[in-house]
């Protein structure tokens, strides 16, 4: 693959992953101080 193809695929995957995690973490943040998603309880 060309570098541009790798960057495009990673960019799309990263955007989808961030969107999924962000949507999932929104209810968890409702009563908490705002933390990065990796500090929001998804990981130990």
Q: What is the CA radius of gyration of the chain?
A: 14
The pLDDT tens digits for 13-38 are 888 777 777 665 555 555 455 555 55
pTM over cut 0.75:
no
Which of 19, 17, 40 is CA-nearest to residue 29?
A: 40
- Of the two residues 11 and 27, the one the predictor is more confident about is 11
Count of CA atoms in the C-beta half-sphere (13 A) of 7: 3
Distance CA 39, CA 25 (A): 10
Q: pLDDT-based confidence at 44, cuts 50/70/90?
A: very low
What's the whole-number mean pLDDT along residues 1-11? 80
**Domain segments of the chain as ranges:** 3-32
pLDDT of residue 42: 54
- Of the two residues 6 and 38, the one the predictor is more confident about is 6
Residue 26 · residue 38 · CB < 8 Å: no
């Amino acid at each position: 693959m060309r570098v541009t193809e790798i960057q495009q695929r990673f960019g799309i995957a990263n955007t989808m992953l961030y969107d999924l995690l962000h949507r999932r973490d929104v209810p968890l943040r409702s009563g908490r101080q705002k933390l990065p998603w990796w500090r929001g309880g998804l990981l130990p």
